[in-house]
Structure 1
Amino acid sequence: MKIAVIGGTGLIGSQVVKNLNAAGHEAVPHSKSTGIDVISGQGLDEAVVGADVVVNLTNSPTFDEASPAFFQTSMDNLLAAARKAGAGHFVILSIVGTDQVPELDYYRAKALQENILAAGPIPYSIVRATQFMEFMDAVLSWTADSDTVRLPATPIQPIAAKDVADAVAEVAAGAPLNGVRNIAGPEIFSLDELGRITLSRKGDNRTVVTDPTAGMFAVVKGDVLTDKDARLAPTRYADWLSA
């Protein structure tokens, strides 16, 4: 199959392209660096011409109130191009629990993206993943100073980017789900515990203070960042840190 991977040069996209090509498909990466613009629509018709599948891994440049507009415009443009090209399957990557945290602008934006796809004209698949292990350093930086890192005890089930890419490639090469596949890492931590583990393994002597009001995930309640029914990926957090 010919598969157009929009956002195909990023953390997930580059690995998706590699996996699909290794499996014998013709996966072509597209991004701003290759001359496309999902907001203006520049280059999209050319990027998806002849594609059996379109995988959209582009992301909003911000996590704030501007993010819904990004997903609205980019999805409208990409779905129009994919429909014109006759693509029979459209895949996006989303977040476990994205429809359960309307307080977060970015989660609300991802829920909008899912709804646009589900209401669109093309058979589709949504892969929802838990939080990437690769994002832990950024999470720590949001509420850190020279001595402490403040984190809530929100449950989290981190997944390695490699495992996410494997799942996206598998779904892209298969029949449309016309629904959602949830994927997650094999272990559940509280976010403050995960912070302590991460700092310890990095030799960072800062203290993690449990603070239920700290950071973006403070508004997330219960088990929104975990999924007991998800397909579990193989990579454990300690093994990822060691690698």
Structure 2
Amino acid sequence: MRIAVIGGTGLIGSQVVEILRAEGHEAMPLSLSTGVDLLTGQGLGEALKGAEVVVNLTNSPTFDDASGAFFHTTMDNLLAAADRAGVGHAVILSIVGAEQVPDLAYYRAKVLQEDILKAGPVPYSIVRATQFFEFMDAAFSWTADETTVRLPATPVQPMAAADVARAVAEVSVGSPLRGTRNVAGPEVFPLDELGRITLAARGDHRTVVTDAGAGMFAAAPGNALIAEEDAVIAPTAYRKWLEGQPRSAD
């Protein structure tokens, strides 16, 4: 199967390409570095010629109100080009619970991306994942200083990027879902507890302070970021994943 992976050189995309190729598919990583610009449409039509599936893993460069315009433009360009090229399946990666966090501009933008795909001319699948293990450090850094990391007790159900990539690859080679598949990690943590686990594992001696208003995830109400019962549960546990990560030099 010939599969175009836009954003195919990034954290998830590069792993999706590797998985698909290992399974014998012709996976084409597309990005700005290969001459494909989804924001302008440059190179897109040529890149999609002969593709049976297109996977869109590009992301907005910002998490503010501009993210909505980014996803609107890129999805319009993608669907128009895919329709002209006769692509039979379009796949995107989104976020579990995105519609439950309307106070975050980026989450609103991801819901917009989903809605554009659903209304478009190409049969589709949406993979919704929970937060990635690999992004936890960034989340911690938003409200951190030299001695303290401030985090809300928001429940999260994070998963490894490798597990996300496997989920995307699996959906990509199947029939269009014309719906959504939710995927999530095997464990639920309050975010502040996850911070303490992470710092301890990395030899980081800062203190985690529970702060209900700290950081982006403070805007997520209740269990908004927790997958529902129909989710596919990924195998990699957070503590096991941490064992393979470098410790702090301290």
Under a length normalisation based on structure 1, what TM-score does the superposition of the two structures give? 0.99
Q: How does 1:66-85 map to 2 (within 5 A)?
A: 66-85=66-85
SS in 2 for 1:55: strand
Report Cα offsets for 1:19-63 as digits up to 9, x if no partner.
111111101000011111111110000111110000000000000
What is the match of residue 122 of structure 1? 122
What is the match of residue 96 of structure 1? 96
What is the match of residue 219 of structure 2? 219
| CA–CA distance in structure 1, aligned partners of residues 89 and 226 of structure 2 | 27
SS in 2 for 1:81: helix
SS in 1 for 2:11: coil
Q: How does 1:33-44 map to 2 (within 5 A)?
A: 33-44=33-44
After TM superposition, give the deviation of residue 99 of structure 1 in Å: 1.0
SS in 1 for 2:3: strand
What is the match of residue 183 of structure 2? 183
Report Cα offsets for 1:181-238 as digits up to 9, x if no partner.
0000000000000000000000000000000000001111111111132110000001
Letter in 2 for 1:74: T
Report Cα offsets for 1:136-187 as digits up to 9, x if no partner.
1101100001110000000000000000000000000000000000000000
Structure 1 moving runs of 4+ over 4 Å: none
Q: How does 1:26-37 map to 2 (within 5 A)?
A: 26-37=26-37
Letter in 1 for 2:182: N
Letter in 2 for 1:49: K
Letter in 2 for 1:115: D
Q: How does 1:24-173 map to 2 (within 5 A)?
A: 24-173=24-173
SS in 2 for 1:121: coil
| Structure 2 residue 239 is the aligned partner of structure 1 residue 238 | yes
Letter in 1 for 2:233: L
Letter in 2 for 1:231: V
In structure 1, stretches of 5+ residues that fail to align are none
Letter in 1 for 2:57: L
Letter in 2 for 1:134: E
| CA–CA distance in structure 2, aligned partners of residues 228 and 4 of structure 1 | 30
Letter in 2 for 1:209: V
**Percent of residue pairs bearing the same amino acid type:** 71
| CA–CA distance in structure 1, aligned partners of residues 222 and 181 of structure 2 | 21
| CA–CA distance in structure 1, aligned partners of residues 107 and 160 of structure 2 | 20
| CA–CA distance in structure 2, aligned partners of residues 37 and 153 of structure 1 | 39
Letter in 2 for 1:232: I
Does the 8 Å CA contact 2:156/2:226 hold for their aligned counterparts? Answer: yes
Q: Which moved more, 1:179-188 or 1:219-228?
A: 219-228
After TM superposition, give the deviation of residue 77 of structure 1 in Å: 0.3
SS in 1 for 2:115: helix
Under a length normalisation based on structure 2, what TM-score does the superposition of the two structures give? 0.96
| CA–CA distance in structure 1, aligned partners of residues 188 and 37 of structure 2 | 37
When the two chains are superposed, the root-mean-square deviation of aligned CA atoms in Å is 0.5
Letter in 2 for 1:170: E
| CA–CA distance in structure 2, aligned partners of residues 41 and 28 of structure 1 | 17
| Structure 2 residue 228 is the aligned partner of structure 1 residue 228 | yes
Letter in 1 for 2:128: R
SS in 2 for 1:122: coil
Letter in 2 for 1:58: T
